[in-house]
Amino acid sequence: MSILANNEGYIGIDIGSAGVKMVEIKKGPNGPRLVTYGFSELARFKSGEAWQKDEARLTHTIEKIWQEAGFQSRNGIASLPAFSVFSSIINLSNVPADSLASAVYWEAKKVIPLPLEEMTIDWNELGVGAAAANSGATRNVKIFLTGAPNEIIERYKRVFLAAKINLLNLETETFSLIRSLIGVDQSVIALVAMGASSTNITIVENGIPMLNRSLDFGAAAVTEALARALKISWTEAEQFKYDYGLDSFAGTDHAVPVLIKNLVSPVVNEIKFALNLFQNKNQKKADKIILTGGSALLPNFQYYLADLLDRQVIIGNPWNRVDCPAELMPVLEEIGPRLAAAVGLALREVL
């Protein structure tokens, strides 16, 4: 739905495994202001499906959302899915400033599993001021390294050109989520994004992703397993999943909550592993967990995790930094976890 008739905004475009989410934000008198939003999700998503590789279908989906939701801007920033992007923090010792780029390149060849000729590499030096970076002295440096397959980047360029969107930038989904859900919070936070086909767990400190774990398991796998176990349709299983979730009030022997608890155990175990790994390595504890993605709304999942992990667990709200119409807040809060990446992408250009 269109809220402001103005073409000076920026569109965050999140292309996920189960659909496309788009949010337009512009600069307003009180900071970033919501212009409009729209999304299209598959009626039924099967694990392993890669519909977004169909360039004509993806182009049509973006164009349809743009037209039906009343978007005004043609400037877009798109996300690169976390599971397709390699990221790592590397430590380099005794590196002269004029040799840093070369040292990063050779270290990247060691840690990135694909030939660098097939990747677009980007890196940033962490925790250093401009004076130190330009001093020319030999020093120890910490680098945040990312690499994205050229094949994905070129595909996105073709799609957005066909959809008449001026693609300003591509950004790893993790950074857009940090921008919309964590903002200026400098504490240690575990960010858990559970999508349709995968779950990404990122430990963030000072706004920097310090540890990342990806799990090839998402909400669609839960729905499919429920449908098989209960011998019901995919649509019915999806409804049951959000009707019951991990609802203790349904009774401890109720089939759906018990099944879901067992099905999400790989995600819970991976969160535990990431928390312990970070704490043992850095002697710091992530006291807060932020849930995002559609599965963040699974009934009682938030409280189940909080009890199990003895941590504060909250559902991420990407609208905290955005001026939104008060009458839309009930709807925006409900769909917020699904739109968090798209909000963060749009905020990149207006903050």
For the cut 60, the answer to whether the pLDDT of residue 47 exceeds it is no
Planar angle of CA 119, 197, 122, nearest 5 degrees: 20
Determine the Cα–Cα distance for residues 327 and 322; give it in Å rounded to an integer: 14
- pLDDT tens digits for range 152-204: 999 999 999 999 999 999 998 999 999 999 999 999 999 999 988 889 999 99
* pLDDT tens track for 3-45: 444 448 999 999 988 889 999 999 999 899 999 999 998 755 5
Strand pairing category for 139-149 and 119-125: antiparallel
- What pLDDT was estimated at residue 196? 84
Q: Tell me if domain 10-81+151-182+317-347 and domain 213-313 are identical in fold.
A: yes
CATH class of 84-149: alpha beta
- Three-state DSSP state, 192: strand
Region label for 125, one of left (φ > 0), alpha (ψ between -120 and 50) or beta (otherwise): beta
- Between β-strands 208-215 and 189-194, what pairing exists: parallel, antiparallel or unpaired? unpaired
pLDDT more than 90, % of the chain: 54
The CATH superfamily of 213-313 is ATPase, nucleotide binding domain (3.30.420.40)
What are the structural domain ranges in the chain?
A: 10-81+151-182+317-347, 84-149, 213-313
Domain 10-81+151-182+317-347: CATH superfamily is ATPase, nucleotide binding domain (3.30.420.40)
- Residue 123 to residue 258: CA distance in whole angstroms: 44
Query: Which structure tokens are listed for 176?
Result: 């857009």
Q: How confident is the model at residue 136 (pLDDT cuts 50, 70, 90)?
A: low
CB 195 within 8 A of CB 65: no
List, for residues 259-273, the tens digit of each pLDDT value.
788 888 999 999 999
| Global confidence as pTM | 0.88
